Amino acid sequence: MIEAVNISKHFDHIKAVDQVSVSIKEGNVFGLVGTNGAGKSTFIRMLCGVLKPDEGNIRIDGMEVFENIDAKELFFYISDDQYFFSNATPKDLKNYYKVVYKNFDSERFDTLMKQFDLDQKRKINTFSKGMKKQLSVICGISANTKYIFCDETFDGLDPVMRQAVKSIFAKEMDERNMTAIIASHNLRELEDICDHVGLLHKGGILLSKDLYDMKLSIHKVQCVFKEDIEVRQIFEGLDVLKIDRRGSLYTITARGTAEEITSRIEAAEPVFSEVLPLTLEEIFISETEVVGYDIKKLIL
């Protein structure tokens, strides 16, 4: 179990992470999403002890992480800006990680390298960006750690590789209950693999929920009414995040269960109505819009 309690990190006057608390259960995939500069990488760097929080504390299986080798043996961190020793080959990397991680599985490493068609003897600095990401994933999986932290790992992979990596992760979770924390902008991808999603904005947590509950608690309804109607009145008492109107078609995003929203709409006797679940991407846009991150303002 990973527990972060009220952690904050400042860089001069910038509040990169502000009083964030999360707990991540074993065997879960925790998706960390957020706007650019929201603090995702800073948060992950604190989780793995690269940075020390200014306030609060982080414990992995009950152990403080910062400068604690025992805690660091429990996870593998795939950073967004990848660093490899100069002139090193994947084989050198394997030999290095065998020393660092006592359960490093060399056979698994060799098999995965073959499957991904990567040459163990070639210098890593001649690899493409995506190939370096593949190599990091292979190292992360072979390290056999209980936890894996991935910062935009999927984002640099081609679609076939992303599918391959997702199924390798799924297998690891299934077979050895691996816990993953994945920061990504690829919400479509996260939607497939996450159990829990934390949404960061300007250093603070806007939302932290099970993906399933998240999807049950916010909906989009499309409807047409016979005559002009005060739509907000229909939803009085419910939290309406957004109302769009195109001609006679209203698209309303509101918090509430499908039943709550349907009953309100039906009471207004619409000509047509349909309640739809939101995708993770739509939830992200709605929730960040509420706090002033309006996509239209960025595009116009």
Q: Which residues bind ligand ATP (CB under 6 A)?
A: 11, 14, 16, 34, 36-42
The answer to whether 232 and 243 have CB atoms below 8 angstroms apart is: yes
In the complex, the smallest distance separating the C-beta of residue 182 from ligand ATP, rounded to whole angstroms, is 13
Of 47 and 223, nearer to ligand ATP (C-beta) is: 47
In the complex, the smallest distance separating the C-beta of residue 133 from ligand ATP, rounded to whole angstroms, is 15
Q: Return the bridge partners of 223, or none.
A: 250, 273
- Max Cα-Cα span within the chain: 73
What are the tokens at 71?
């805690």
Q: How many residues does the chain have?
A: 300
Of 8 and 89, nearer to ligand ATP (C-beta) is: 8
The answer to whether 105 and 142 have CB atoms below 8 angstroms apart is: yes
In the complex, the smallest distance separating the C-beta of residue 34 from ligand ATP, rounded to whole angstroms, is 5
| CB neighbour list of residue 110: distance below 8 Å, 6 or more residues apart | 120
In the complex, the smallest distance separating the C-beta of residue 163 from ligand ATP, rounded to whole angstroms, is 23
Of 185 and 215, nearer to ligand ATP (C-beta) is: 185
Of 136 and 273, nearer to ligand ATP (C-beta) is: 136
C-alpha to C-alpha distances, 256 to 187, 195, 216, 221, nearest whole angstrom: 22, 20, 8, 11
The answer to whether 2 and 60 have CB atoms below 8 angstroms apart is: yes
Of 27 and 204, nearer to ligand ATP (C-beta) is: 204
d(CA 171, CA 150): 17
In the complex, the smallest distance separating the C-beta of residue 203 from ligand ATP, rounded to whole angstroms, is 7
